[in-house]
Structure formats: structure tokens, C-alpha cells
């Protein structure tokens, strides 16, 4: 039986343990607002992808260690490299209708494909003339249509990677590809040295879409899933830029960001697009709650501030995964409370 006198004693003991770091606050125990390290093995991780049809299925592409997969939301990992003869993986994409179908972009051997959740891989590079693949994007309305950003432009496959055709020729690495979810014929490509390209007809023709961008090197792109005229670009040493007219013009939105920041990844919350996240090289993760008008850091628990990519759990828009120099981290963000 708990007496009135014993309750304050218990509270005092808990307070002392908390002060000594022996008892974590409930919010930290739940992983709220605090990054959790998941591995795999503290490897430099270039890409992380979560299956839409099964968000317990997470894939990590590493720099030299190939691909790892998790079947429990990132809590544990196993190597998934059978048939993958290149361990430098820069891009991953999961078929939105099937968690077992996965694509990997490698540095030097093109695209690989798995149809069994990464248990085995086969090269899917027929038609590629440049084998350095930095980005991948799958058409959400027609998953057999895939785009690959390479060191020589953008390629398209209309048969799930069976063959590829180059649809944009460049002499710059295509670091990011995004498809407008409200109009999948509209595609954006970010390059090193040539800024941003835009296509309004599924990649058949392209135009420069870079007015106002002061950095030649664009590493990341993100589209607002609700108002898709709003677009964000992460750049080399110039932070984040925003467009509100489908990339027709851009302006810097760097209030609160570190000066001359390299931004390698961007993610927009699909249920509340005013909230977005930026991955930086050397300064960790930043968040904005107002369409990038201002930024604050989001680094509690993050062991490394070198972050190469971000992705949100497609079935839980408050859970964020980061690909970092020290493996994969995850963060659960409390949903904003109504006023």
C-alpha cells in the first residue's frame, strides 16, 4: 500500500537517478526528439530507403560495404549482397507496391535489382552507357517506370529496369531526381555544375530550371506533396533554395542555417508540408516548421554531423531516417499539438 509519505520519497529517488543519468526521461526512452543509432556496423551510409507496403523493411546502401537490410524497422541488420558485385551504393529505391522489389544504384556498375527483398541481386544495366548511378526515382503511379541519374545524364526504364534509354545527356553527375506526385509527367533533376533541369512530359524534353540559384552544384531536391509548385533544393556551400513556381525561379531560404552549408538531403513531411528537414555535411540535421522560412538544429543523440540523406517512413510521417558517416539513425518527432 502506497502511503502519502512514500510518494515524495519515490519522486526524490527518481529525481536523483535522473540527475545521475541512470534513469532516462520518458520522452528519451520513447526515442522522441532524440536520434537513435541503428548501425549497420557504423559504416558510411549513402542512402536509406523504407518500403511503403511494409515499413518494417528498411534498406541501407553503404560506401564499400554494399547493402544491408532490416526487417524490424532498423533495429537489427543483415548483409544483403548476394549477386551484388559492387559495394559502393549511392542510391536505393523500393517499388511502392511491393517491398520485395528493390533497385540499387552503384558507383561504376550501374543499376542492380532484387525481387526478393535483397536476398539476391542481378545487374539491370542494359542500355546504360554511364555506370555511375547517383540517384533513382520510381513513378508512383506506374512503378515499372524508373529514372536513373548518372554521371552522364538521366536514363529511363519502362520495364522495371529490363532496359534503359538516355533521355537527358549531361556532362555532370545527376545527384537527385524527384517526381511531382500530383503530376508524374513533371520530373526534376539536380546536377553538379549545371544546376536543375525540369521536364513536363515524362523526360522526353528538358529545360534549365535554375533562375536565382547561386550555386552551380545541387545535391538534393524535394517537392511539396500538397502544393507541388513548391520545390526545395539543397546546394553546395549555399544552403537551401525554394521555388514556388515549379522551379521557374529560386530564392535562398537560409535563416538559421550555418553559413556556406553543404546540403545533401531534403525531406518534406507529407501530412504537414510546412515541416521539412535538411541533411548537411558537417552540421547534422536542421528542421523547419514554416516552409523553410527559418531553421533550427535537430541533432540530439546524433553521433555524427555528416549526413548524406534523409527519408521519412511512408507509413509514419513523424519518423525520420538519416544516412550518415556512422550508419543509419532514426528519429521520432512528436506531432504538433493543436492550439
Does 17 have pLDDT greater than 60?
A: no
pLDDT of residue 291: 98
Q: What residues does 240 pair with on adjacent strands?
A: 234
**Rounded percentage of the chain residues whose pLDDT exceeds 70:** 89
pLDDT of residue 337: 60
pLDDT of residue 26: 31
**More confident: 118 or 55:** 118
Cβ(217)–Cβ(262) below 8 Å: no
pLDDT of residue 31: 57
Q: Which residue do the cell numbers 550555386 mark?
A: 215
- What is the C-alpha to C-alpha distance for residues 286 and 263, in angstroms, rounded to an integer? 10
DSSP state of 250: -
Write the pLDDT tens digit of every residue in 209-218: 999 999 989 9
Confidence of residue 15 (pLDDT cuts 50, 70, 90): very low
Cell numbers of 275, please? 515541416
Q: Which residue do the cell numbers 535537430 mark?
A: 298
Cβ(99)–Cβ(138) below 8 Å: no
The answer for residues whose C-beta is within 8 angstroms of residue 337's C-beta and 6 or more apart is none
Cβ(147)–Cβ(177) below 8 Å: yes
- What is the C-alpha to C-alpha distance for residues 14 and 24, in angstroms, rounded to an integer? 10
**More confident: 44 or 11:** 44
Q: How far is CA 22 from CA 11, 18, 257, in A?
A: 14, 6, 34
pLDDT of residue 5: 36
**Rounded percentage of the chain residues whose pLDDT exceeds 90:** 84
| Averaged pLDDT for residues 165-186 | 97
pLDDT of residue 13: 35
Cα 261 from chain centroid (whole Å): 18
- Of 125, 130, 163, 162, the C-alpha closest to 149 is 130
Weakest mean pLDDT among 210-219, 305-314, 327-336: 327-336
pTM (2 d.p.): 0.89
pLDDT of residue 78: 96
Cell numbers of 87, please? 559495394
Does 1 have pLDDT greater than 60?
A: no
pLDDT of residue 339: 54
Does 191 have pLDDT greater than 60?
A: yes
Confidence of residue 28 (pLDDT cuts 50, 70, 90): very low
Cβ(320)–Cβ(300) below 8 Å: no
Write the pLDDT tens digit of every residue in 244-299: 999 999 999 999 999 999 999 999 999 999 999 999 999 999 999 999 999 999 99
| Averaged pLDDT for residues 155-180 | 97
- What is the C-alpha to C-alpha distance for residues 112 and 152, in angstroms, rounded to an integer? 18
pLDDT of residue 247: 96
pLDDT of residue 336: 65
Does 22 have pLDDT greater than 90?
A: no
Q: How far is CA 282 from CA 233, 305, 310, in A?
A: 18, 5, 15
Cβ(256)–Cβ(239) below 8 Å: no
Q: Which residue do the cell numbers 541501407 mark?
A: 60
Write the pLDDT tens digit of every residue in 95-140: 999 889 999 999 999 999 999 999 999 999 999 999 999 999 999 9
Amino acid at each position: 500500500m502506497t502511503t502519502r509519505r512514500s510518494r515524495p520519497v519515490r519522486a526524490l529517488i527518481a529525481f536523483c537517478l535522473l540527475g545521475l543519468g541512470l534513469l532516462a526521461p520518458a520522452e528519451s526512452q520513447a526515442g522522441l526528439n532524440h536520434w537513435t543509432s541503428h548501425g549497420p556496423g557504423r559504416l558510411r551510409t549513402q542512402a536509406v530507403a523504407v518500403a511503403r507496403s511494409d515499413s518494417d523493411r528498411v534498406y541501407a546502401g553503404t560506401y564499400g560495404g554494399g547493402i544491408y537490410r532490416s526487417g524490424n524497422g532498423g533495429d537489427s541488420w543483415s548483409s544483403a549482397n548476394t549477386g551484388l558485385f559492387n559495394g559502393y551504393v549511392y542510391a536505393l529505391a523500393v517499388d511502392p507496391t511491393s517491398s520485395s522489389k528493390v533497385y540499387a544504384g552503384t558507383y561504376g556498375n550501374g543499376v542492380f535489382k532484387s525481387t526478393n527483398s535483397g536476398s539476391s541481386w542481378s545487374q539491370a544495366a542494359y542500355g546504360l552507357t554511364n555506370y555511375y548511378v547517383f540517384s533513382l526515382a520510381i513513378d508512383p503511379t506506374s512503378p515499372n517506370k524508373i529514372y536513373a541519374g548518372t554521371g552522364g545524364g538521366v536514363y529511363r526504364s519502362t520495364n522495371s529496369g529490363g532496359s534503359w534509354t538516355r533521355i537527358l545527356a549531361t556532362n555532370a553527375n545527376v545527384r537527385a531526381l524527384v517526381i511531382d506526385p500530383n503530376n508524374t509527367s513533371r520530373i526534376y533533376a539536380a546536377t553538379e555544375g549545371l544546376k536543375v533541369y525540369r521536364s513536363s512530359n515524362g523526360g522526353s524534353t528538358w529545360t534549365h530550371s535554375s533562375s536565382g540559384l547561386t550555386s552551380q552544384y545541387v545535391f538534393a531536391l524535394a517537392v511539396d506533396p500538397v502544393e507541388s509548385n513548391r520545390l526545395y533544393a539543397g546546394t553546395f556551400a549555399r544552403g537551401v533554395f525554394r521555388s514556388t513556381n515549379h522551379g521557374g525561379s529560386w530564392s535562398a531560404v537560409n535563416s538559421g542555417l550555418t553559413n556556406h552549408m553543404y546540403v545533401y538531403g531534403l525531406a518534406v513531411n507529407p501530412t504537414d508540408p510546412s515541416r521539412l528537414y535538411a541533411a548537411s555535411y558537417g552540421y547534422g540535421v536542421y528542421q523547419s516548421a514554416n516552409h523553410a522560412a527559418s531553421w533550427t538544429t535537430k541533432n540530439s543523440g546524433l553521433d555524427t554531423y555528416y549526413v548524406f540523406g534523409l527519408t521519412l517512413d511512408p507509413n509514419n510521417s513523424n519518423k525520420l531516417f538519416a544516412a550518415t558517416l556512422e550508419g543509419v539513425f532514426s528519429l521520432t518527432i512528436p506531432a504538433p499539438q493543436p492550439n
